[in-house]
Amino acid sequence: MPKTILIAEHAGFCHGVKRAVDKTLDANAHYPDQTVYVLGQLIHNPQEIERLAQQGIKTVAHLDDVPAGSVCVVRTHGATPEVFDALAEKGVTLQDATCPDVSLVQNKAIQLAQEGYTVVIVGKADHPEVIGIKAHAEKAVPGAHIVAVQTSAELVPALQQVPRRRVGIVSQTTQLEETFFDMVKTLSKLAKELKVFNTICPATFYRQNAAADLAAKVPVMVVVGGKNSSNTSHLADICREAGAQTVHIETVAELDAFAPLKNTTTVGVTAGASTPEWVVEEVLDYLKCLA
């Protein structure tokens, strides 16, 4: 029964996610006679996607499911140039919600490829943001050498396939700082010349630091956000590493099974950049009732 509930200084919706949700809702209001489609999950939060669905906004997984002439939102993670071309061919009214911080990574990767560097993207190769970054750089510089790796262990085999004398490095926006700097350290031993763009977005950086600070002060942490959200999962990892007993939940119902809450007087709360305020409020209300 926690008596004190502390909330991380930076938690919940970031500016990129807020902008994407606002753009989608604006489009829905602006085109009342049309269905607004979102290609892929607008943000990695199932509860917010469901809330949008209840307002008639339709999330589709494939380009083929976006009807010609419809209104379509491209999500915060961005999309490949081929997707933008295909949407234009379909005569779609485009609402591009690519986060400006994601566009920045795309531009830095293009710059590195244009300068002749082998480009290393630190991130999950199958994550939509990373797929988009790679595709934009490949389109801008055909034949460029670009690899996406998640860990230093993957780096050596990946670089065996490409020139590694001059290497440039960028990061998926939501990457753990520790992972990125570990990769920079490894690369500095493998390449003759290394150009580094730390493209972890400020919102991620602030949330990670605030989570680490709070988790170091409290025995128990509740991390709220989509299980499919990279940045939320990273927050949970950070809290565990800081020593707090940590649970990563999507909805308040999951807290019933989290035993450490019953024995602590203090609990910390943080939320991923894609977690809406109303989900966090439900968690806070639950915790207040325990107090």
The contact set with ligand SF4 (CB under 6 A) reads: 14-17, 76, 99, 101-102, 173-174, 201, 203-204, 231, 273
- Alpha helices, H only, 54-164: 81-89, 100-114, 128-140, 152-159
Residue in 48, 129, 138, 250 annotated catalytic: 129
Q: In angstroms, give the least distance from the CB of 17 to ligand SF4.
A: 5
CA distances from 158 to 117, 119, 148, 190 (A): 15, 11, 8, 12
Nearer to ligand SF4, 173 or 179 (CB): 173
Q: State whether residue 117 is helix, strand or coil.
A: coil
Q: In angstroms, give the least distance from the CB of 78 to ligand SF4.
A: 9
| One-letter identity of residue 31 | Y
Nearer to ligand SF4, 70 or 174 (CB): 174
Q: Catalytic: 129?
A: yes
* Adjacent-strand bridge partners of 93: 71
* Adjacent-strand bridge partners of 16: none
Q: In angstroms, give the least distance from the CB of 231 to ligand SF4.
A: 6
By beta-carbon distance, which residue lies closest to ligand SF4?
Answer: 16
Q: What are phi and psi of 244, to 5 degrees?
A: -85, 145
Q: Which residue has the tokens 């809330």?
A: 51
Q: In angstroms, give the least distance from the CB of 51 to ligand SF4.
A: 18
Nearer to ligand SF4, 76 or 118 (CB): 76
**Residues identified as active-site:** 129
